[in-house]
Amino acid sequence: MDLSAERRGTLPWGTLDRDTIVAAALELARTDGLDGVSIRKVADAVGSSRMALYRHVHDKQELLDLVADEISRLSADLPVDEDAPWEVRLRAIATSMRVHLKENPAFAEFIVVHSANGPGGVRMAELITRAVVATGLPPDRVAHHCLVFSDIVLGRIHRELAGDPTAAARNARLLEAAQHVPEATAVRRHDSELRQVHADAVFEAEVDMVIAAISAESARARTA
C-alpha cells in the first residue's frame, strides 16, 4: 500500500490493516527512532484515526512488538535453503540479522532486551535451532550453542550500533597515546594494522569462532 498516498487524506473505512500499520511504524522508527513511534504518529502517517489503530493494536508496546517481529521475519528470509550445510546456514542467518538490524537500528536494543516473540521471531529461532541440530550434537549442547550463537551475533550487532569497542575512531586516541609510552612497544609495532581493522572483519571473525567451536565439539562427539 502506498503510504505517501494515504498521508494525503483519511483512509476509507475497512482498508486499514496490521501490515500497513507495521510498515508505517517501521518507517517512522528508521527516521525518528523509537520515540518517533506512537499510536498518534502512526495514525497520522497512515491517514487514520487513533481509534481505528486501536482496533488492530492494543497499545504502543504491542505495536513495537509487531515491528520487531517484522524485522525478524525479514531476517529469516534467507538466500540458502535447509539442505545447505549447517555452517552455511548459520553464516547466512548471522549476515541476514546484521543487515536487517543495521537497516533498523532503533530496534537493535529493543530486540536484544525484549526479543521478537511473534511468528517472525519464532521462525528465526527455528532456523537457528535446525542448523545446530544438523551437527548431530545432543539436545543440551544444541541448546547451549543456539544461545551462544544468538548472544554473539546480536551482541556484536548491538555493539556496532551503540558503541563499538573495535571501531578505529574510538581507538585512535589510544593508539596516539601509545606513541608516547615507552613500554607500549607491541601496540606501536602494530599501530597501522590496528587502525585498519573494520567492523565487517570483526563480525565475520566472531561468527567464524562460534562455528569453529561448534564444529570442534561435533567432531569430538563423533569420535568419542
Tell the burial category of 37 from Cβ atoms under 10 Å away from its Cβ (0-12, 13-18, 19+): buried
Cα–Cα distances in angstroms (integers) from residue 217 to residues 55, 153, 212, 220, 222, in the given order? 50, 20, 9, 5, 9
The vertex-94 CA angle with 62 and 153, nearest 5°, equals 75
Cell of 196: 585498519
Residue 11's pLDDT is: 52
Provide the whole-model pTM: 0.87
C-alpha cell at 91: 553464516
- Cα separation, 53 vs 204, in Å, equals 41
Tell me what pLDDT residue 2 has: 43
* Averaged pLDDT, groups of 10, the chain, 224 residues long: 44 74 93 90 92 92 94 93 94 97 92 91 97 96 97 96 91 95 96 94 97 95 83
**Domains of the chain as residue ranges with CATH:** 3-57 (1.10.10.60), 79-223 (1.10.357.10)
Cα(32)–Cα(26) distance, rounded to whole angstroms?
10
pLDDT at 82: 85
What's the pLDDT at 10?
54
